């Protein structure tokens, strides 16, 4: 089997793990902020790529947009449909791969991805697809985790305990999408205007234990490692994770505050 097919299958399985809805509540304000930045208006045609359970899709639909929400993982589609139906929003949910979007060229006014498409293994394909399906003069918008802060360090820790990718494939870090110079390189020749802004996302918990239990419940890579690693090896990972949280804790009152940087990306597709 093609190693990238195996990666896709593994991603579908991994991202179906955990209580994503609990994590999405922390991400929702940042999806809403991105929707405000790109000034979505009634009748705007929007595509949400790697939509999760629909934070950006909901923000766009509430502004009157016609929204298609796509995700690689059937579990996310199920969660998103249930959530948006409960909120009475007419959003079209479809399974789709960010590296090969099943949509026509030059079709959408806004194509966005909030902490989603950054995890696809081939970023050059992602960049090409995001712009391909966007109308000339339309907007490609992203929110991407950066290396600075807790999440970048936590990801490095998880990678140190992970198995090598299938077929010996070398994968770029998803967090490279949070580097301004790298986004400029990936979008070169595709955009007439590019606005990049570093922002911060905060995860706050009443205690260290509550914080670690949150990540064990909501973080798919950590949950996958818990299932695959021998017990002693996982306990070692757990100990190092707790030490990392203590080292990056921004609180001094016994609670836990973990800050991470992310990059807000707004790019206008070049006119032809």
How far is it, in rounded angstroms, from Cα 109 to Cα 216?
38
Give the pLDDT confidence score for residue 268 in this predicted structure.
98
* All residues at 6 or more sequence positions from 77 whose CB lies less than 8 Å from its CB, including other chains: 71, 93, 94, 95
Instruction: Return mean pLDDT, the chain.
Output: 95
Report pLDDT digits (tens) over 108-160.
999 999 999 999 999 999 999 999 999 999 999 999 999 999 999 999 999 99
Give the pLDDT confidence score for residue 166 in this predicted structure.
62
Global pTM? Answer: 0.95
Burial class (CB in 10 A: 0-12, 13-18, 19+), 247: exposed
Report pLDDT digits (tens) over 59-93.
999 999 999 999 999 999 999 999 999 999 999 99
Give the pLDDT confidence score for residue 1 in this predicted structure.
60
* All residues at 6 or more sequence positions from 88 whose CB lies less than 8 Å from its CB, including other chains: none
Spans of all domains in the chain: 3-269
Tell me the percentage of the chain whose pLDDT exceeds 90.
89
CATH label, 3-269, candidates 3.90.1150.10, 3.40.50.720, 3.40.50.150, 1.10.275.10: 3.40.50.150
């Amino acid at each position: 089997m093609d190693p990238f097919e195996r990666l896709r299958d593994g991603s579908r399985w991994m991202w179906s793990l955990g209580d994503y809805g609990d994590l999405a509540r922390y991400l929702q304000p940042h999806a809403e902020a991105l929707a405000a930045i790109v000034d979505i208006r009634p009748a705007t045609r929007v595509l949400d790529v790697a939509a999760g359970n629909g934070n950006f899709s909901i923000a766009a639909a509430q502004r009157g947009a016609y929204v298609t929400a796509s995700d690689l993982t059937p579990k996310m589609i199920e969660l998103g449909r249930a959530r948006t139906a409960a909120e009475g929003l007419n959003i079209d949910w479809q399974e789709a791969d960010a590296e090969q979007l099943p949509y026509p060229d030059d079709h959408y006014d806004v194509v966005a991805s909030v902490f989603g498409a950054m995890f696809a293994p081939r970023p050059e394909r992602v960049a090409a697809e995001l712009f391909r399906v966007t109308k000339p003069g339309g907007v490609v918008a992203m929110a991407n985790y950066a290396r600075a802060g807790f999440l970048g360090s936590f990801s490095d820790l998880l990678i140190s305990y992970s198995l090598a990718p299938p077929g010996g494939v070398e994968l770029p870090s998803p967090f490279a999408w949070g580097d301004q110079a790298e986004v400029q390189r990936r979008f070169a020749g595709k955009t007439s205007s590019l606005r990049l802004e570093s922002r911060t996302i905060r995860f706050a918990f009443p205690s260290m234990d509550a914080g670690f239990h949150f990540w064990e419940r909501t973080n798919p890579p950590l949950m996958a490692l818990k299932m695959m690693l021998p017990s002693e090896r996982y306990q070692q990972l757990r100990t190092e994770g707790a030490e990392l949280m203590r080292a990056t804790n921004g609180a001094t009152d016994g609670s836990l505050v973990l800050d991470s940087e992310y990059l807000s990306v707004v790019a206008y597709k070049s006119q032809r």
